Amino acid sequence: MKHLKSTSTDLRRLFERTISVREIAEPLLSFDADRDTQPIRAFMEARNFDVVGVREDGRMVGYVRRKDLKAGPVRDCLNRFTDRDALPESDSLLTAVQALSERSELFITVMGQVGAIVTKGDLQKAPVRLWLFGVISLIEMQMLRLIRERFPYGTWTSLVSSDRVQDARDLFAKRQRRNEEANASDFSDCLQICDKATIVLKDRQLFELANFPSRSAGHRFFKGLESLRNDLAHANDILQGRWPALAKLVKDAETLLLRLESYRSPKPLCPATAK
């Protein structure tokens, strides 16, 4: 098998160089602190804004929420920025996802000053979806690598139901007919994510490597991962019914990926010892 040249480090380096939180942020519209709240409320209602920035002497110093506006100057409703409120524009998407699991919005600093905002809705954007799909794809690749190393003679078939094995064989045959498979005997490429998960959870050594607290926890994780992968592939909403659990799923996925990548030579099983 060809050596995998893609790792979580490569993916993270790619995103840090080209796609960071700045790519999903929106400009933060703002008003001077001495402005009356009535026209600001009308503006926010017309555009369905929940938050706008507040300026003092031309500098963005805080924000107001529409629900908190009361009669008088907007400074009377001002929430001043704290370090916890803001992220640099160069921070990672993972950092943004984790931070949004604890609050409604994040303010983004541009050249040292707050100038943009990210909300949970921004996590539906293409850069986030590409990153998540990349993480899941790398997990699948690493599971396949370890399965091949652990079961070099295809003895993994004993851990998967006969129906699932036949599905993989049928897909392999179709690929062969289209000249998409060079190896005439190895059909492990045709395993689905649920099949790879089954093998990882049933094999003692791979299960210990994955470090799930229990097999039931592992099943729940992989079920959530497969569901997310399907919604990403079909351009479906990835937050509905999944937030804030998505933040934990993403963090656990990156942790698992790092563990899988770090392990290179699990003890292989030969046909005589496979069970």
Per-residue pLDDT of 182-204, as tens digits, reads: 565 678 888 999 999 999 999 99
DSSP assigned state of 226: H
Q: Rounded to whole angstroms, how far apart are CA atoms 122 and 27?
A: 12
Please say whether the dihedral angle defined by the alpha carbons of residues 228, 229, 230 and 234, taken in this order, is positive or negative: positive
- In angstroms, the first-to-last Cα distance of the chain is 24
Q: Among candidates 245, 265, 241, 243, which has minimal Cα distance to 253?
A: 245
pLDDT at 243 over 90: yes
Q: Among candidates 160, 165, 140, which has minimal Cα distance to 229?
A: 140
Going by pLDDT thresholds of 50, 70 and 90, the confidence category of residue 66 is very high
Going by pLDDT thresholds of 50, 70 and 90, the confidence category of residue 1 is very low
Q: 60: Cβ–Cβ under 8 A, 6 or more apart, which residues?
A: 28, 30, 53, 54, 81, 113, 114, 115
**Higher pLDDT, residue 137 or 265:** 137
Please name the residue ranges forming H helices in the chain. Answer: 8-18, 37-47, 93-100, 126-150, 162-177, 193-202, 204-210, 215-233, 245-262
Going by pLDDT thresholds of 50, 70 and 90, the confidence category of residue 13 is confident
In DSSP terms, which residues pair with 65 in a beta bridge?
51
CB atoms within 10 A of CB 7: 17
In the chain, list all ranges with CATH 3.10.580.10.
21-121
pLDDT at 270 over 60: no
Categorise residue 24: left if φ over 0, alpha if ψ from -120 to 50, beta otherwise. alpha
Tell me yes or no: is domain 21-121 CATH 3.10.580.10.
yes
Q: What is the mean pLDDT of residues 257-266?
A: 80
DSSP 3-state of 209: helix
Residue with tokens 């009356």: 36
Q: Is the peptide bond before 39 cis (omega within 30 degrees of 0)?
A: no
Q: Among candidates 66, 131, 61, which has minimal Cα distance to 97?
A: 131
CB atoms within 10 A of CB 273: 9
State the pTM of this model. Answer: 0.85
How much of the chain exceeds pLDDT 90, in percent?
71
